[in-house]
């Protein structure tokens, strides 16, 4: 039942993705409510899935790689729904839907939904640490999406070849402002999540701590470069894409390690 919810949710993201692709192909994209509604419905279904899974586990549903990917996809949708309309980044939905669809499809198809006998009992700090860190990843994912949009827009301006998508993109300066805000949001959440990790009252897994600190330092360096004004916005946007790819890989590594340890 719970996986069915997820499959229907994935269909919503798939529809948003296909509709955008067809509209862009027909050079007739307009940011209508369809994408937003499809993503919102997908989000509701994701939430229902996580809620059911959480109840059956009796804890926050991030106990295996499958759940981690779904939670991450949920975080991306949540942050998009919160900031997308606020910053008039309607086209962001066109980029967000494929990302969420990709994460969920991978989670559904790969044999990673395995139940584990967990060594650690859930504590409030541990759950807070894991949830907030994953929501931070959601913010970084959207910073990566905004970074990609920035790179596409900048490339069109540099190549002096303007296609119909160009007119639907937000201005470069607005995209850069959105990247900055998302970076800050993700960084603050990640900092809180990492800090909470030290209050769990359980022994710290040093490799995971090192990985997490590595990601934290990477994003801190990007923010520092951003605010010193010495790094071109294009490089900041590219760094957001690189950093999120690295963070996603590390997240996989951390989850894999924690599963190995808990077995």
Partner 1 sequence: MKVFCVGLSHHTANVETRERFVGHAQTERALREEAGCAEALLLATCNRVEVYAAAADAVPTDRITRCLRANEDSLGESENSFYRHEERNCVQHLFRVASGLDSMVIGETEILGQAKKAYAAARESGGAGPLLHRLFQRAFRVAKQVRTRTEITRGAVSVGSVAVDLAEKIFGHFETRKVLLLGAGVASERTARALAKRGVRDIRVSNRSSERAATLAALVGGRAVAIEDWQAHCREVDILISSTAATSPIVTREKLEPLLRDRRDRPLFIIDISVPRDVAPDVHEMEGVFLYDIDSLQSIAQQSIAQRRQQIVAGEEIIAGHVDEVTSWLANACAGAQNPALTLRPSQS
Handedness of CA 256, 260, 261, 263 (dihedral sign): positive
233 binds partner 1 (CB under 8 A): yes
Whole-number minimum distance, CB 139 to partner 1, in Å? 21
238 binds partner 1 (CB under 8 A): no
Minimum CB distance to partner 1 smaller for 13 or for 150: 150
Rounded distance, CA 133 to CA 196, Å? 10
If one counts every other C-beta atom within 10 angstroms of the C-beta of residue 90, the result is 19
Rounded distance, CA 78 to CA 64, Å? 21
Which parts of 150-179 interact with partner 1 (CB under 8 A)? 153, 157-158, 160-164, 166-167, 169-174, 176
Rounded distance, CA 189 to CA 166, Å? 32
Minimum CB distance to partner 1 smaller for 24 or for 246: 24
Tell me the two tokens of residue 93.
């939905």
Which parts of 75-104 interact with partner 1 (CB under 8 A)? none
Q: Residue 59: which region, alpha, beta or left (left: phi > 0; alpha: psi -120 to 50)?
A: beta
E strand or H helix at 258: helix 233-262
Alpha helices in 85-205 (DSSP H): 92-109, 124-159, 172-197
Whole-number minimum distance, CB 89 to partner 1, in Å? 12
Minimum CB distance to partner 1 smaller for 32 or for 195: 32
Which parts of 2-41 interact with partner 1 (CB under 8 A)? 26-28
Say if CB 197 and CB 128 are below 8 A apart.
no
The radius of gyration of the chain's CA atoms, rounded to the nearest angstrom, is 19
Whole-number minimum distance, CB 136 to partner 1, in Å? 24
Which parts of 200-229 interact with partner 1 (CB under 8 A)? 226, 229
Whole-number minimum distance, CB 88 to partner 1, in Å? 10
Minimum CB distance to partner 1 smaller for 27 or for 121: 27
Binding site for partner 1 (CB under 8 A): 26-28, 153, 157-158, 160-164, 166-167, 169-174, 176, 226, 229-235
């Amino acid at each position: 039942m719970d996986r069915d919810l997820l499959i229907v949710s994935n269909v919503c993201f798939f529809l948003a993705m296909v509709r955008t692709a067809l509209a862009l192909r027909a050079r007739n994209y307009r940011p209508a409510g369809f994408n937003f509604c499809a993503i919102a419905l997908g989000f509701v279904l994701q939430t229902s899935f996580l809620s059911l899974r959480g109840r059956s586990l009796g804890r926050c549903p991030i106990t295996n790689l499958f759940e981690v990917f779904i939670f991450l996809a949920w975080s991306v949708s949540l942050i998009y729904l919160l900031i997308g309309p606020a910053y008039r980044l309607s086209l962001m939905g066109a980029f967000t839907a494929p990302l969420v669809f990709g994460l969920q499809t991978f989670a559904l198809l790969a044999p990673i939904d395995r139940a584990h006998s967990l060594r650690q009992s859930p504590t409030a700090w541990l759950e807070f640490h894991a949830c907030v860190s994953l929501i931070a990843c959601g913010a970084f994912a959207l910073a990566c999406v905004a970074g990609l949009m920035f790179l596409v827009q900048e490339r069109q301006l540099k190549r002096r070849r303007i296609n119909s998508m160009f007119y639907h993109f937000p201005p470069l300066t607005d995209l850069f402002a959105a990247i900055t805000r998302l970076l800050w949001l993700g960084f603050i959440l990640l900092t809180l999540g990492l800090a909470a990790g030290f209050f769990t009252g359980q022994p710290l897994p040093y490799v995971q701590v090192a990985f997490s600190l590595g990601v934290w330092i990477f994003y801190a360096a990007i923010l520092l470069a951003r605010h010193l004004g010495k790094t071109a916005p294009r490089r900041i946007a590219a760094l957001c894409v690189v950093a999120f790819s690295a963070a996603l890989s590390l997240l996989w590594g951390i989850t894999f390690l924690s599963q190995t340890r808990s077995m």
